[in-house]
Amino acid sequence: MLDAFNANPVVLYNHDDGSGGIFGTGRKDVLPIGKGRAYVQGDALLVDIEFDQEDDFARKVESKVARGILNAVSVRYLMHQYHENERGGFDCEQQELLEISVVTIPGNQRAVRMKELADERAAFIKNVAEAVVVTLDARERSMAAPPPVPDVNALAKHTAEALLQHLQESR
């Protein structure tokens, strides 16, 4: 169940919400480091995180994530429907996501950043944008007269060039 989290999608660092609970330090000035959008893809819970750019600590965490120093997240959830299993633990059929944290050490070793997927998406977008620029450049050179709808071609080329510039700046 993701509705409650997505209505208030705060992302914490190491589950520290300032309450001094099991993971918290008890500081009262602890604030979220960003916000996230949680969703399920197949049988995996995924989150897209937007770090708070006005918070120095959040930017430090984001930098460590981008460089692969921090790779993991952890969740806090409320179990609604569950049963005890033969291993002495619980199997949960229904749970409600309460909070997501970027963490130094995850409880679930599979709860790591999907860098490969992010890199593949960026590479795909870059390839498409480059192809649009090359195609439109070739078309401009080959046409003696201006295209019938020059604004559409110019807009597509401008958009692709801007996307390429954005991808280069975000590295």
Q: Which residues pair with 95 in a beta bridge?
A: 79
Say if residue 39's pLDDT is above 60. yes
Helices (H), 9-149: 56-66, 115-142
User: What per-residue confidence (pLDDT) applies to 130?
Assistant: 75
Residue 10 parent element (H or E): strand 10-13
Q: Which residues contact 40 (CB under 8 A, 6 or more apart)?
A: 2, 46
What CA–CA distance (Å, rounded) separates 140 from 101? 50
Higher pLDDT, 136 or 108: 136
- Tokens 């679930």 sit at which residue? 108
- Which pLDDT band, with edges at 50, 70 and 90, does 53 fall under? very high
Question: End-to-end distance of the chain based on CA atoms, in angstroms?
Answer: 34
How much is the average pLDDT of 121-142?
70
Lowest mean pLDDT among 24-33, 40-49, 152-161: 24-33
